[in-house]
Amino acid sequence: MAYEPLHHKYRPQCFADLVGQEAIARTLSQALAQQRIAPAYLFTGPRGTGKTSSARILAKSLNCQQSTVPTASPCGECEACRAIARGNALDVIEIDAASNTGVDNIRELIERAQFAPVQCRFKVYVIDECHMLSTAAFNALLKTLEEPPDRVVFVLATTDPQRVLPTIISRCQRFDFRRIPLQAMTDHLQVIAQKESIEIEPTAIALVAQLAQGGLRDAESLLDQLGLLPPPVTPEAVWDLLGAVPERQLLQLLEAIAANDPEALLTLIRQLLDRGREPLTVLQNLTAFSRDLLIARTAPQRRDLTTVTEATWQELCTFAEDWTPEQILQLQQHLRQSELQIKNTTQPRLWLEVALLGLLPSAQAPVTTAPPAIAAPVTRPVSIPAAVVPAETPSSPAAVAPVAIPVAPAVTTTPPEVPAIAAAAPEPLNLEELWQRVLINIASRGTQMLLQQQGRLLRCQAGQAVVSVPPNWLSIVQGKRNLLAEAFQTVLGQAIAVELESSSGTDPNPVSLPPPPVVIEMPRSPASPAVTPRSAPPSEPIAAAPRQPAIATIAPPPVAVAPPVPPPAPSPPIPQSKPVAIATSPSKSPEVVPAPQLETPPAALRPLADWELDPGLKAARSLAQFFNGEVVSDRESESDTSEAVVEPDVDF
Q: What is the pLDDT of residues 150-194, one digit of tens each?
A: 889 999 999 999 999 999 999 999 999 999 998 899 999 999 999
| pLDDT exceeds cutoff 80 at 643 | no
d(CA 609, CA 551): 9
User: Are β-strands 644-647 and 630-634 bridged in parallel, bridged antiparallel, or unpaired?
Assistant: antiparallel
CB-facing half-sphere around the CA of 290: CA atoms within 13 A: 26
Interval 242-251: pLDDT, tens: 888 888 899 9
Confidence of residue 389 (pLDDT cuts 50, 70, 90): very low
Spatial separation of the C-alpha atoms in residues 118 and 230, rounded to whole Å: 50
DSSP secondary structure of 480-549:
THHHHHHHHHHHHSS--EEEEEE-TT--S-STTPPPP---------TTSPP---------S--PPPPP--
Residue 280 has pLDDT above 60, yes or no: yes
Residues 577, 595: Cα–Cα separation, whole Å: 7
Distance CA 68, CA 567 (A): 124
State the CB neighbour count (10 A cutoff) for residue 209.
Answer: 27
Exposed, middle or buried by CB within 10 Å (0-12, 13-18, 19+), for 10? buried
Q: Report whether 437 contacts 491 (CB < 8 A).
A: yes
Q: Work out the pLDDT band at 501, boundaries 50, 70, 90.
A: confident
Judged against a pLDDT cut of 70, whether residue 407 lies above it is answered with: no
- Least confident range from 141-155, 247-261, 630-644: namely 630-644
Mean pLDDT of the chain: 75
**Per-residue confidence (pLDDT) for residue 588, from 0 to 100:** 42
Q: How far apart are CA 155 and CA 182, in angstroms?
A: 28
pTM: 0.54
The 10s digit of each residue's pLDDT in 507-552 is 444 333 344 444 444 444 444 444 444 444 444 444 444 444 433 4
- For 197-253, the pLDDT digits (tens) are 999 998 899 889 988 888 999 999 999 999 999 889 988 889 888 888 888 899 999
Residues with Cβ < 8 Å from 416, sequence gap 6 or more?
none
Kindly indicate the confidence band of residue 329, based on its pLDDT and cuts at 50, 70 and 90. Answer: very high
Measure the CA–CA gap between 459 and 389, rounded to whole angstroms: 10
Q: φ and ψ at 200, to 5 degrees?
A: -140, 140
What pLDDT is attached to residue 434?
Answer: 86
SS (H, E, C) 217-245: HHHHHHHHHHCCCCCCECHHHHHHHHCCC
Helix axes 247-258, 279-298, angle to 10 degrees: 80
Domains in the chain, please, with CATH?
6-178 (3.40.50.300), 183-242 (1.10.8.60), 247-362 (1.20.272.10), 426-513 (3.30.300.180), 514-525+603-652 (no CATH)
Query: What average pLDDT does the segment 306-318 reach?
Result: 85
- The set of residues, in sequence order, having a beta carbon less than 8 Å from that of 301 and lying 6+ positions away, is none
* Structural contact between residues 94 and 31, judged by C-beta atoms closer than 8 angstroms: no
Task: Give the three-class secondary structure for 64.
Answer: coil
Q: What is the DSSP letter of 15?
A: G
